[in-house]
Amino acid sequence: MKPFLKRLLTKSRSIGNKMDKYQESLTFAEAGEPLQPAALPVEQKEAKPGLLLVIGNGNSFSQRMIDYALEMAQRMAYEILALNVAPLPRETARLFAPSQNKIQEFEEGAKRNVRAFQEAAEQSGISFSHEVKFGETDSVIQEVDREYGPVEFVVSEPAEEQVAERPENENRPDKQIYVYSMV
């Protein structure tokens, strides 16, 4: 039992150190400070770039989220996977003809709306890909994690309803951007 606990303790310290380095990198990025080489984890300098999953709000991406994701990906040397998620399972569309039209409209809108994001990523020299998936967001994220490999961070925005229901406060921005780690 002791060797197991020792390995567990070592692993937890390693993860804690890695998260501290990620937090330091994010802090510099949000403050607009120059990239500090010591702030990047060693694995990031040597290994394949990490994956930053950017989840659109419906079939679009706000300019604020695009700017944030590009800045974060550039500073941390990540690839971007832009993801549009429709809450309707594709299997349902086979049963109902009107649903098929909605799915096609969603896919076309997503492809049209992602162009500005893709062009900005190309101009910044950031590897970029785009996916449209159907289902619940949590299960789609797990599916992406299996397909593309480990997702380091997820960037998303609250749904429009959540923004509308939040109490007004003149010192807060209209929308928040959520960033969370999948590690």
CATH of range 49-181; options 3.90.230.10, 3.20.20.140, 3.60.20.10, 3.40.50.620: 3.40.50.620
Q: What percent of the chain has pLDDT over 70?
A: 64
What's the pLDDT score for residue 179? 86
Pairing of β 178-181 and β 151-156: antiparallel
Q: Phi and psi dihedrals of 78, rounded to 5?
A: -105, 155
Residues of the chain predicted below pLDDT 70? 1-18, 32-47, 89-100, 159-175, 183
Sign of CA dihedral 156, 160, 161, 163: positive
User: CA 183 to CA 180: how far, in whole Å?
Assistant: 9
The length of the chain, given as a count of residues: 183
Q: What are the residue ranges spanned by the domains of the chain? A: 1-47, 49-181
pLDDT score for 44? 47
For the whole model, what pTM was predicted?
Answer: 0.66
Q: How many CA atoms lie within 13 A of 136 on its CB side?
A: 3
Q: Provide the pairing of β-strand 128-134 with 178-181.
A: unpaired
Closest CA to 36 of 53, 49, 23: 23
pLDDT at residue 88, as a whole number = 73
Per-residue b/e over 91-109, b at no fewer than 16 CB within 10 Å? Answer: eebeeeeeeeeebeebeee
Q: Identify the pLDDT of residue 25.
A: 74
Taking the C-alpha atoms of 157, 162, 167 and 169 in order, what is their torsion angle to the nearest 10 degrees?
Answer: 20
Q: Tell me, what's the pLDDT at 66?
A: 95
